């Protein structure tokens, strides 16, 4: 048996030069965050807060309109209390996620409005951050407590065209599919990025460009698959709407909010 | 550039949404002509693509990263109408499901990012590309298109912010929504876009367009060989739409009294100075016997006419330049 060559026994010291390639890590993180958010909520069997998604969507938009229109701090305060109360009914992980986005936006708003407050505009700094917090929390509660396919399907009740609902639904599904594909490319790029990567721009262009080509290919495939199954361009959304007791209570509660809004408007 | 709720007044949001309705209608009509009804699934996949394009982190010098919107990129890859629809759907997913960008301000966000950005970007791209039909010309077209697209979109957002304190104040003269006038909002929004976001957008668009051209050149949507006359239509629409927006908001342009101005200058002196400057710029503004609203419309029409004349003259000079060597041959 031949002796092992010397170069094989010598310990190899390879210290790759460090490189600033945080754009790969950051892109990977944003894609993972996105995909996990969609997957998490679609894995749920039931919606939280037993109200029909049709009403949830309608009244969430109503809260945002009312909060945005009012000039009465008392009304904003009441709405905020209600929204925080509903938030308290969610499980802890959802609360954390809801609050995270809302608090970042609120702090950002405070910072933006600070110079105007220093010039004596006290109204904006007291009202707008609270309104921003209430609006974003309301949308986040809707988003975290309801399956997204249910929200999309409830658009049917608002007379959105079926084709629009179809496109919207496809969008969510393909954000996950194309996102996973992009993620795999980014992992591959990360694994191969040892030492100094001279063509960072080439890499990102390649990943983005391939993603576009893949989306073209996927849409061709999907169209063919749908045609094979008899798709003629007509798409019908079935409406499975049932009015429950909870919906009744919820509607009554929201009628109360509208009354309160009108009352405060007249007071002003 | 996502405007959250409560920065703009609900009436501004309503006007912006109303402006987007005909834009969407025309875009859908155009797309339907190009994409048959049965190929509708494509729109969903393209919307997903536009959503994902916003997730990429572009490497910047010094190891930092930046985000691109990718509106012009999507418009170059699949045409401005398809870009308008897919970016709108992507924005709706963001607003409704991700809490990113407001629900009321959805119309305004669509106007800036799904209409102004891809259309301005695409038509600047097309305009330059047609005039300089070389490889370098195409690169220049991509650079200018994506840069102008995002900068003009940020300018639109800045104007939307900036008109808030002029239109919506309480009895004490304090702003009800965004408190900064045009003098603050325009530099605050446009300068970062000129300096940072614009170059990031250019870089990202250029990299991907170049890659796709190299790998699969036939994949880039070739818009119908119509000359770029439609850019004048766009300029016209943009100029016409802003006064309509102001009028529909319930306050006529230029109705602010001196005391109101003084009350507002308490915290937005820069923006007010700007407005006074505007009044001086248009002395014919309060023609006796003509309502101020009419005056505004007339000056908008005048502005459009002047722009058309200027651009026509420039176009004519260019044509002559091209014509001379051709005849000499």
Would an 8 Å CB–CB cutoff place A67 in contact with chain B?
yes
Alpha helices of B196-287 — where are they, by DSSP H? 198-215, 230-248, 258-265, 269-281
- CB–CB of B104 and A175 under 8 A? no
**Which residues of B fall within a CB distance of 8 Å from A69?**
10
CA distance to partner chain A, nearest, from residue B100 (Å): 8
In this predicted structure, the answer to whether residue B253 has a pLDDT above a threshold of 70 is no
Cβ–Cβ under 8 Å, residues B78 and B30: no
**Which residues of A fall within a CB distance of 8 Å from B13?**
68
Q: Is the dihedral of CA A256, A257, A258, A260 positive or negative?
A: positive
Enter the tokens of residue B265.
């200058």
The answer to whether position B278 is within a domain reads: no
What distance in Å separates the CA atoms of residue B93 and residue A115, rounded to the nearest whole number?
A: 33
* Residue B16: other Cβ atoms inside 10 A: 25
**Which residues of A fall within a CB distance of 8 Å from B204?**
204, 208
pLDDT of the residue at B316: 56
* Domains identified in chain B, total number: 1
pLDDT of the residue at B232: 52
- Which residues lie closer than 8 Å to B143 by C-beta, 6 or more apart? B202, B206
Would an 8 Å CB–CB cutoff place B10 in contact with chain A?
yes
pLDDT top residue among B77 and B117: B117
Which residues of chain A carry a pLDDT beneath 70?
Answer: 1, 43-49, 233, 239, 268
ipTM summary value:
0.85
The answer to whether position B268 is within a domain reads: no
Would an 8 Å CB–CB cutoff place B211 in contact with chain A?
yes
pTM of the predicted model as reported, rounded to 2 decimal places: 0.76
Tens of pLDDT, residue by residue over B82-97, are 889 889 989 998 888 8
CA distance to partner chain B, nearest, from residue A43 (Å): 15
**Which residues of B fall within a CB distance of 8 Å from A102?**
99
Tens of pLDDT, residue by residue over B15-52, are 989 989 999 888 888 887 776 665 677 788 888 888 88
- pLDDT confidence tier of residue B313, bands split at 50, 70 and 90: low
Chain B, 231-290: which have a CB under 8 Å from a chain A CB? 266-268
Contacts within 8 Å (CB) and 24+ apart, B310-313: B311/B232, B311/B235
Tens of pLDDT, residue by residue over A182-237, are 999 999 988 888 877 777 788 888 888 999 889 888 888 888 888 888 877 677 77
Would an 8 Å CB–CB cutoff place B36 in contact with chain A?
yes
Chain B, 165-184: which have a CB under 8 Å from a chain A CB? 170, 172, 174-177, 179-180
Enter the tokens of residue A81.
């209390």
**Which residues of A fall within a CB distance of 8 Å from B157?**
none
Would an 8 Å CB–CB cutoff place A124 in contact with chain B?
yes
What single DSSP character describes residue B252? -
- CB–CB of B49 and A212 under 8 A? yes
Would an 8 Å CB–CB cutoff place A169 in contact with chain B?
yes
Q: Domain-by-domain residue ranges, chain A? A: 49-146+243-268, 160-237
| Closest Cβ opposite residue B46 in set A71, A123, A215 | A215
pLDDT of the residue at A45: 61
- CB–CB of B44 and A124 under 8 A? no
Task: Please give the residue of chain B at the shortest CA–CA distance from A98.
Answer: B99
Measured CA to CA in angstroms, residue A146 lies from A41, A87, A243 at distances of 8, 13, 17
Determine the average pLDDT of the residues in B209-226: 72
Enter the tokens of residue A186.
């980014």
Would an 8 Å CB–CB cutoff place A184 in contact with chain B?
no
What CATH number is given to the structural domain containing B142? Answer: 1.10.1760.20
Would an 8 Å CB–CB cutoff place B189 in contact with chain A?
no
- CB–CB of A208 and B170 under 8 A? no
Return mean pLDDT, chain B. Answer: 73
What distance in Å separates the CA atoms of residue A28 and residue A24, rounded to the nearest whole number?
A: 6
- pLDDT confidence tier of residue B177, bands split at 50, 70 and 90: confident
**Which residues of B fall within a CB distance of 8 Å from A73?**
none
- pLDDT confidence tier of residue B151, bands split at 50, 70 and 90: very high
Nearest to A108 by CA among B6, B186, B95: B6
- pLDDT confidence tier of residue B108, bands split at 50, 70 and 90: very high
Determine the average pLDDT of the residues in B153-173: 85
**Which residues of B fall within a CB distance of 8 Å from A210?**
211, 215
In this predicted structure, the answer to whether residue B329 has a pLDDT above a threshold of 50 is no
The answer to whether position B263 is within a domain reads: no
Task: Indicate which of A70, A116, A127, A181 best probes the interface with B, i.e. most B CBs within 10 Å of its own CB.
Answer: A116
Enter the tokens of residue B75.
């418009």
| Closest Cβ opposite residue B10 in set A65, A168, A171 | A65
The answer to whether position B193 is within a domain reads: yes
- CB–CB of B104 and A64 under 8 A? yes
Would an 8 Å CB–CB cutoff place A27 in contact with chain B?
yes
pLDDT of the residue at A181: 92
pLDDT of the residue at B261: 40
In this predicted structure, the answer to whether residue B117 has a pLDDT above a threshold of 50 is yes
Tens of pLDDT, residue by residue over A119-142, are 877 778 888 899 999 999 999 988
Element (H, E) at B33: helix B10-34
Q: Beta strand B57-59 with B65-67: parallel, antiparallel or unpaired?
A: antiparallel
What distance in Å separates the CA atoms of residue B252 and residue B285, rounded to the nearest whole number?
A: 13
Tens of pLDDT, residue by residue over B267-304, are 443 443 444 334 434 444 444 444 454 455 555 556 55
- The count of C-alpha atoms lying within 13 angstroms of the C-alpha of B111, restricted to the half-sphere facing its C-beta, is 29
Structural domain harbouring B47: 10-228
pLDDT top residue among B254 and A225: A225
pLDDT of the residue at A49: 67
- CB–CB of B47 and A216 under 8 A? no
- CB–CB of A71 and B268 under 8 A? no
Chain A, 238-267: which have a CB under 8 Å from a chain B CB? none
Task: Please give the residue of chain B at the shortest CA–CA distance from A175.
Answer: B48
Max avg pLDDT among A134-143, B232-241, B249-258, B319-328:
A134-143
- CB–CB of B267 and A116 under 8 A? yes
Determine the average pLDDT of the residues in B151-160: 91
pLDDT of the residue at B289: 46
| Closest Cβ opposite residue A232 in set B38, B176, B177 | B38
**Which residues of B fall within a CB distance of 8 Å from A211?**
49, 52-53
């Amino acid at each position: 048996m031949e002796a092992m060559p010397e170069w094989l026994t010598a310990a190899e010291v390879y210290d790759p030069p460090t490189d600033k390639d945080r754009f790969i890590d950051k892109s990977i993180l944003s894609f993972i965050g996105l995909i996990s958010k969609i997957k998490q909520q679609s894995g749920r069997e039931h919606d939280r807060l037993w109200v029909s998604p049709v009403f949830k969507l309608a009244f969430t938009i109503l809260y945002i309109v009312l909060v945005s229109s009012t000039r009465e701090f008392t009304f904003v305060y009441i709405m905020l209390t209600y929204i925080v109360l509903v938030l308290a009914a969610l499980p802890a992980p959802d609360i954390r996620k809801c609050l995270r986005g809302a608090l970042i936006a609120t702090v950002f708003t405070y910072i933006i409005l600070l110079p105007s407050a220093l010039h004596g505009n006290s109204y904006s700094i007291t009202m707008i951050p609270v309104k921003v917090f209430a609006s974003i929390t309301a949308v986040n509660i809707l988003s975290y407590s309801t399956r997204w396919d249910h929200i999309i399907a409830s658009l049917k009740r608002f007379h959105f065209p079926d084709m629009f609902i179809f496109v919207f639904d496809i969008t969510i599904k393909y954000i996950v599919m194309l996102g996973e594909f992009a993620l795999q490319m980014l992992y591959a790029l990360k694994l191969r990025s040892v030492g100094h990567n001279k063509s960072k721009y080439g890499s990102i262009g390649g990943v983005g460009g391939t993603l576009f080509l893949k989306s073209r290919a996927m849409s061709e495939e999907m169209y063919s698959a749908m045609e094979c199954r008899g798709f003629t361009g007509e798409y019908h959304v079935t409406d499975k709407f049932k009015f429950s007791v909870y919906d009744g209570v919820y509607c009554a509660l929201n009628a109360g909010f509208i009354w309160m809004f009108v009352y405060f408007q007249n007071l002003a | 550039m996502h405007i959250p709720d409560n920065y703009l007044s609900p009436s501004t949001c309503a006007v912006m949404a109303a402006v987007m309705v005909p834009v969407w209608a025309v875009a859908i009509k155009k797309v339907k002509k190009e994409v048959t009804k049965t190929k509708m699934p494509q729109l969903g996949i393209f919307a997903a693509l536009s959503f994902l394009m916003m997730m990429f982190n572009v490497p910047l010098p010094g190891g930092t990263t930046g985000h691109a919107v990718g509106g012009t990129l999507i418009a170059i890859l699949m045409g401005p109408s398809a870009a308008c629809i897919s970016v709108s759907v992507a924005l709706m997913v963001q607003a409704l499901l991700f809490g990113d960008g407001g629900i009321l301000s959805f119309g305004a966000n669509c106007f800036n990012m799904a209409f102004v950005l891809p259309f301005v970007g695409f038509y600047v791209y097309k305009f330059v590309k047609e005039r300089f039909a070389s490889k370098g010309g195409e690169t220049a077209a991509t650079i200018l298109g994506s840069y102008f697209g995002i900068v003009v979109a940020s300018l639109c957002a800045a104007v939307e912010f900036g008109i808030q304190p002029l239109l919506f104040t309480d009895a004490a003269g304090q702003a009800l929504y965004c408190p900064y006038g045009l003098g603050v909002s325009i530099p605050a929004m446009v300068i970062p876009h000129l300096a940072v976001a614009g170059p990031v957008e250019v870089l990202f668009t250029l990299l991907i367009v170049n890659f796709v051209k190299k790998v699969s050149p036939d994949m880039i949507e070739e818009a119908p060989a119509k000359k770029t006359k439609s850019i004048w239509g766009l300029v016209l629409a943009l100029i016409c739409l802003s006064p309509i927006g102001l009028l529909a908001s319930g306050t006529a342009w230029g109705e602010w009294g001196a005391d109101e101005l003084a009350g507002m200058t308490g915290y937005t002196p820069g923006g007010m100075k700007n407005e006074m400057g505007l009044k001086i710029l248009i002395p014919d503004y309060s023609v006796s016997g003509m309502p101020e609203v009419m005056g505004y419309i007339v000056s908008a029409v005048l502005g459009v006419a002047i722009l058309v004349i200027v651009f026509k003259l420039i176009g004519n000079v260019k044509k002559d330049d091209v014509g001379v060597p051709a005849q000499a041959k």
